[in-house]
Structure 1
Amino acid sequence: MIKAIIFDLDDTLFPESEFVKSGFMAVDNYLKQQGIVGFYREALYLFNQGTRGNIFNLALDQLKVDYDLDFISKLVAVYREHFPTIKLHEDAKWAIQYLKEKYKLGIITDGFLVTQKNKVKALGIAADFDVVVFSDTYGRENWKPSSVPYSKVMEALQLKGEQLIYVGDNPAKDFVTAKKMGWLTIQIKRKQGEYLNIEVSEEYQAHFVIESLFELKDLLLGLEKENKSKFEGAENAENV
C-alpha cells in the first residue's frame, strides 16, 4: 500500500528555467553596479540556444568585458545565492493539495544547499511537505543517484520502499536507486522539459511516464485497485 509520494523539485514542481532567468537578472543587477550592462540579454540568448556550463564567460565575451576566474566565481555566487522569483507549475499546485489529504509528501532535491533552500522558501511549500531532503546536506557525493537521500526519507517517515513513490524528471539519476530500494517511480515528461530527450537503459527508466501531474489521480487510483485485488486474492487463497 502506497503511503507517501516524494517529489523531485527542479522541473518537476516548478520550471527550472524560471530560476535561471531570475539568477541571470540578479547577476545583471550586480554587474550594472560595476558599470556593465546587457548581461541578462546575452545570457538568456545563450541559454535559449542550448548553451550550458559556460554562459557567464560567453556572455561577458560578447559584452567585451575582461574577467578572471575570481570574477566568474563571484558571479556564480550571486547566481546561486540570490532569492529567486519562481512559482509552482499549475499541475504541481493541484497535486500538492490533492495528494496531501491521502498521503505523506516529501521532496528530494539535488543542488547547492543555499540555492535549493531558497527555492523552497520562495515557493512557500515547506509546510505542505512532511519531509524535505536536501541531498547537499550530506555532501556532493550523496546527490542522486546516491542511496543516502532516499534512505533519509524512509527513516524520517518510517516507511519501507514498497510504500513509497518517487516522481522526478531526470532518468539519468532519479529512478535507478529508488527502484533498487523497492520504490515505485514515475517520470514527469513535460513537453519542454530539460531532460525530455535523454535515452537511458531499462534499469534507469521509471515504472511509469506521465506528461502532467494531473495524471497522478488516475494512476494512483489504478494502483490502489490493483493492490486491493491482490490483497483480496491472497485472502481468498488463505481461506481455501
Structure 2
Amino acid sequence: MLDLDDTLFHESDFARSGFAAVGAHLENRLGVSDFASHCERLLKAGSRGRIFDQALAECGHHPTPDLIEELVDIYRSHKPSIQLPRDTVAFLEHVAGLPTALISDGPARMQRNKVVSLGLDKLIDKIVLTGEWPDGYGKPHPRAYGEVMQWSGRIGSDHVYIADNGSKDFIAPRALGWKTVQILRPGRVHDGVAPTAEHEAEFRIASLDEISLRRVLAGSR
C-alpha cells in the first residue's frame, strides 16, 4: 500500500509544474514575468503556505485575497507535467500481480490529476483520495486504512504501507497491525520527522530500490 507525494514521485516536480501554469496565467493577465522562478526559489528556501503572496510582492504586485484564491485554483486544477522516477517504475513492475492500493491526502481534483498524469490509475488497483470525503477523514484518521483492509480482505499484518510523512502517515496503520516503511527521498518537500515513537515507521529507506517486501513482512531489517 502506497502514499503518493514524495513517495511515488517528487512532490517538488508537481510544484514546479504548478508554478509554471500560474506564471503563464499571470503573464497573460497582468504582464508579470519570472513568477515561477520566484516561487521555485522560495520553495527551495523552505517557504510554505504563502509562496504566491511572497512571489507576487517580489514581482511588484499586491497579493489580494481574490487574486491568491484564483492562483491557488489554477495551481490545484492544472494538468501537471510530471513523471514517475526510475525506482518507482521498477518497484511497480516488481509488485505487478500483487494487490496494490494508494492512500493520499490533499484536494481531490489536484490529487486525481496527479494520479492520472502519472498513469497510476492503470498501475494501482485501488485509489483512495481522502479529499473526496468530508473534512476530518484525512490522515492520520484510520478510515482510509480501514477501507483498504475491507477491500483486500486481509488481516493487518499482511499489509505494508510505504509513505514519507512521519507526522501523519504511520500511526493509524501501525495501530491496525500494518508493517510501515518511511521513504525519505533526497529533495523531499517535508522533513518527515515523527513527533512521537508511535508515529514512527518500522523501516526507513531513501529509494524504492532498497525495499524488500519479503523482509518487511517477516519483520526483519
TM range, normalised to the smaller chain?
A: over 0.9
Residues 145 and 173, structure 1, Cα contact 8 Å, conserved in 2: yes
- Check if 1:39 corresponds to 2:35: yes
Deviation at 1:48, TM superposition (A): 1.1
TM, length-normalised to structure 1: 0.86
Unaligned runs of 5+ in 2: none
Do residues 73 (structure 1) and 69 (structure 2) align? yes
Distance 1:214 1:38 in 2: 37
State whether structure 2 residue 60 is matched by structure 1 residue 64.
yes
Partners of 1:146 and 1:182 lie apart in 2 by 15
Per-residue CA deviation, residues 188-221 of structure 1 (Å, 9 max, x unaligned), is 12233233462432100001111211122xx323
Provide the C-alpha distance between the structure 2 equivalents of 1:116 and 1:191, rounded to a whole number of angstroms: 22
Among the aligned pairs, what percent are the same residue?
A: 34
CA-based RMSD of the aligned residues comes to: 1.5
Q: Report the CA distance between 1:155 and its aligned residue.
A: 1.6
Deviations 1:126-181 (A, max 9, x none): 12111110011112311100111111111222222111110000010010000001
- 1:88 matched to 2:84? The reply is yes
Q: Which amino acid aligns with 2:148?
A: V
- Decide which structure has greater helix share: 1
Separation in 1, partners of 2:158, 2:215: 15
Distance (Å, rounded) in 2 between the aligned partners of 1:197 and 1:158:
30
Give the number of equivalent residue pairs: 218
8 Å Cα contact 1:166-1:186 kept in structure 2: yes
Please state how far the C-alpha of 1:89 moved relative to its aligned partner: 1.8
Answer yes or no: is 1:11 the counterpart of 2:18. Answer: no
Structure having the higher Rg: 1
Alignment of 1:103-142 (within 5 A): 103-142=98-137
Which of 170, 176, 184 in structure 2 is aligned with 1:181? 176
Cα 1:210–1:63 shift into 2, 3 Å: same
Aligned to 1:24: 19
Residue in 2 that maps onto 1:232? none
* SS of the residue 2:84 aligns to: coil
In the alignment, is the contact (CA less than 8 A) between 2:130 and 2:144 conserved in 1?
yes
SS at match of 2:185: coil
Q: Is the partner of 1:104 in helix, strand or coil? A: coil
Matching residue within 189, 214, 219 for 1:221 = 214
**Counterpart in 1 of 2:95?**
99
Q: Alignment partner of 2:100: what SS?
A: strand
Q: Distance in 1 between matches of 2:139 and 2:126?
A: 17
Displacement after TM superposition at 1:67 (Å): 3.5
Q: CA–CA distance in 2 between the matches of 1:193 and 1:41? A: 19
Distance 1:67 1:51 in 2: 16
Mark the CA change 1:14 to 1:155 in structure 2 (over 3 Å): closer, same or farther.
same
Cα displacement string for residues 1-27 of structure 1 (whole angstroms, at most 9, x for unaligned residues): xxxxx0000000000000000000000
Matched, 1:203 2:194: no
SS in structure 1 at match of 2:127: strand
Runs (4+) off by over 3 Å: none
